[in-house]
Amino acid sequence: MKIETAPLASEQVLIALAGRLDIAGAAEVEGTFGTAVDGATTVVVDLTHVPFIASIGIRLLLANAKALSRRSGRMILCGCDPQVDKVLRSTGVDKLIAMMPTKAEALAGLGAPAGGAGPA
Amino acid sequence: MAAPPAAGPPIATLTIDARIDEISRATSWLAELAASEGWPEDVRFGLELSLEEALTNVISYGFPDRAVEPEIAVECYHLPRGRVELRLIDNGIAFDPTSIAEPGVPQSLEDAKIGGHGVQLMRHFLESLSYSRRQGKNELCLVAGSGAPAGEGA
């Protein structure tokens, strides 16, 4: 699995994942993911290129969202494939972490560049 | 709960070693089977996810200290009405995932449990999930295909 991180603004970071977020994938990205989250208060996680997520992937997202929440930060998930969306909703993750349909909408909600002047 | 008898011989079987990297080999095997058998997307995804979760448990916890030489097999069967059954058989320590309670519905991230979602996912994406212990082996039976979740509202 691949991971790319990019700063969006001060303490805002975009994490783009690509590949299967299964036990092998999660092990490959968890270090980089955690480091990117450590320095941020807002983290947008782009799942557009993630076709599969298992419970280990949910654990990765929840653990980092929890860490953000403890310092009044937040995580936003975006671009979920329909099956990934079902996995997140069936485990209640959608009630705990904000989910946006696309990366553009997630960024627009932050007021970050490339998002334009979308509705709040 | 005893697994119901499967119909006829398996259409495919796979044996794997008790190593985490073997899980990818098993899910790839299943994906190829799904493609060659033309399973609907929901059946393919539900079984692939459930196999990943079940094997993660067996391989992570089933063979502490490798006290026995691990034997892990996955058998695939066709069932009536287009349903598909995977039967996971291992000689690890007795473990019944169907006895695991689901995490409660958390009100906030602070209250949320980080883990414990594997069995919850299997119940949600399968028609049925059943377990039996026979002759020193765990048998976990995963059935997908009718669109009815195994554990909704339970």
Distance from CA of A59 to the nearest CA of B (A): 5
Contact B120 A91 (CB under 8 A): yes
Sort out which chain B residues have CB atoms less than 8 A from A97's CB and list them: 109
Distance from CA of B132 to the nearest CA of A (A): 23
Judge whether residue B106 has pLDDT over 90: no
| Residue of chain B with shortest Cα separation from A68 | B109
pLDDT of residue B65: 86
Judge whether residue B17 has pLDDT over 60: yes
Between strands A12-18 and A42-49, the pairing is parallel
Element (H, E) at A66: helix A55-70
Contact A63 B114 (CB under 8 A): yes
pLDDT in tens, B24-66: 999 999 999 999 999 999 999 999 999 999 999 999 999 998 8
Give the three-state DSSP class for B20.
coil
Residue extents of the structural domains in chain A: 2-110
Determine the angle formed by the axes of helices B21-37 and A23-38, rounding to 10 degrees. 120
Contact B110 A69 (CB under 8 A): yes
> Which residue in the set A23, A52, A62 is minimally distant from B23, CB to CB?
A23
Dump strand ranges (E) for chain B.
12-16, 72-78, 84-90, 128-134, 137-144
pTM of the model: 0.89
Judge whether residue B71 has pLDDT over 90: yes
- Domains of chain B, first to last: 12-102+115-144 (3.30.565.10)
Sort out which chain A residues have CB atoms less than 8 A from B121's CB and list them: 54-55, 87, 90-91
pLDDT in tens, B119-132: 999 999 999 999 99
Q: What is the ipTM of this complex?
A: 0.86
Contact B48 A52 (CB under 8 A): yes
What confidence category does residue A114 fall into, taking pLDDT thresholds of 50, 70 and 90? Answer: very low
Give residues with Cβ within 8 angstroms of B71, minimum separation 6. Answer: B15, B89, B90, B91, B137
What confidence category does residue A31 fall into, taking pLDDT thresholds of 50, 70 and 90? Answer: very high
**CATH code given to domain A2-110:** 3.30.750.24
What confidence category does residue A116 fall into, taking pLDDT thresholds of 50, 70 and 90? Answer: very low
